[in-house]
Amino acid sequence: MSEAPHLLTEDDGAILVVTLNRPDKLNALTGELMALFEQGLHRFRDTPELKVMLIRATGRYFCSGADLRGGSEPRVQAAPSASSIRESHRLKLHGMHRIYDEMEAIEKPIVVAHHAMCMGGGLELSLSCDFRLAAKSARYAFPEGKFGVIPASNGVSRLSRMIGTHWTRYLIMANLPVDADRALIMGLVHEVFPDESFGEDTMRFCRHLAEQNGEQMGMAKLAIELAHDVGLAQARNVERMANSALMLNPAYIEGMKRYIQGIGGKKSGD
C-alpha cells in the first residue's frame, strides 16, 4: 500500500489551501513534503486568480519540525568544518532557506493556521507567513536547545524581528513552550480562535483577505519590510514611493471618484 501524499492542495475560490498530511509522523518535514510545498507555492505565485495561500495540517500536531529519523538528508554526521555546516544550512535542509525567502517575496498574503503543537522547523516555516492564526489548543516550542544548538532557519533571525529579543530569549534560551494565549501576547500570532470554530474562522479571515485590493496588498507587504529595516526618515520615503505608484492605479482613481461623488451627493443630516 502506497503512502499518502505528504502534502495536499486544493483551490477554494481565490484561496489555495495546502495541508501538511503526515499525521502518523506528526507532520515532520521531509524533502518530499518541502518539494511539494514549493511546487504549490510557485503555482500560487504564478496564478493571478489565486489571492491568498492558506497552510494548515491534519492530525494531533501542526508540525513537529524537520524529520530527523526518516528525512532524506542526514542531520547527524561528522562535519568536516564549521563553514561546511553554515553552507549546509544555507543551501540544503530541503531548500528551506530558498523557500522561506520566496514566501516573503511573493506579493500576496500567506496565512498559516495552527490547530495544535507547532515546533522547530514547522514554526520556522510559519514565521515566513504574513499571518499566523491559532486555535486555543495550539502550542509553540523550539526543541533545538535540548540538543545544544539553536534554530537556524528563521528561528532566531525572523523570530527576534517579530517578537523582540525579550520573548525570543524565553523560547530559545529558556527553551520553554508557550500556549496560544501567551503567543498572542508575545505577538507571535495575530488571532486565537476557539477550537470548535477554528476552521470556519480561518476561512472567514482568508476570504476577507481575498477581497482586499491586490495591488495595495503587494505594495504593503514590501513597504512594511523595507520601513522596518531603515530609519524613520527613510521609512517615510518608502511610504511616499509606495503611494506614488498606488495612486496612479486606475482602480484607485475611479474608486476615489465614486467615493467623493457619493459623499458630495448626500444632503446634510442624511
> What is the DSSP secondary-structure string of 142-178?
-GGGGGT----SSTTHHHHHHHHHHHHIIIIIS---E
Mean pLDDT in residue range 179-190: 98
Indicate the pTM of the whole model. Answer: 0.88
What's the mean per-residue pLDDT of the chain? 89
Q: Are 56 and 14 in contact (CB under 8 A)?
A: no
* pLDDT tens column, 113-154: 999 999 999 999 999 999 999 999 999 999 887 878 888 778
Say which residues have a Cβ less than 8 Å from residue 60's Cβ, sequence separation at least 6.
Answer: 23, 26, 116, 117
Q: Are 43 and 7 in contact (CB under 8 A)?
A: no
Percent of the chain with pLDDT over 70: 87
pLDDT tens digits for range 187-224:
999 999 999 999 999 999 999 999 999 999 999 999 99
CB-neighbour burial class of residue 146 (10 A; exposed 0-12, middle 13-18, buried 19+): exposed
Q: Give, as one character, the DSSP assignment of residue 108.
A: S
Query: How far is it, in rounded angstroms, from Cα 204 to Cα 199?
Result: 9
Q: What is the per-residue pLDDT for 5?
A: 87
Between residues 246 and 77, the one the model is more confident about: 246
Question: Which of 2-16, 59-73, 123-137, 233-247 bottoms out in mean pLDDT, i.e. has the lowest?
Answer: 59-73
Range in 52-56, 81-85, 221-225, 237-241 the model is least confident about: 81-85
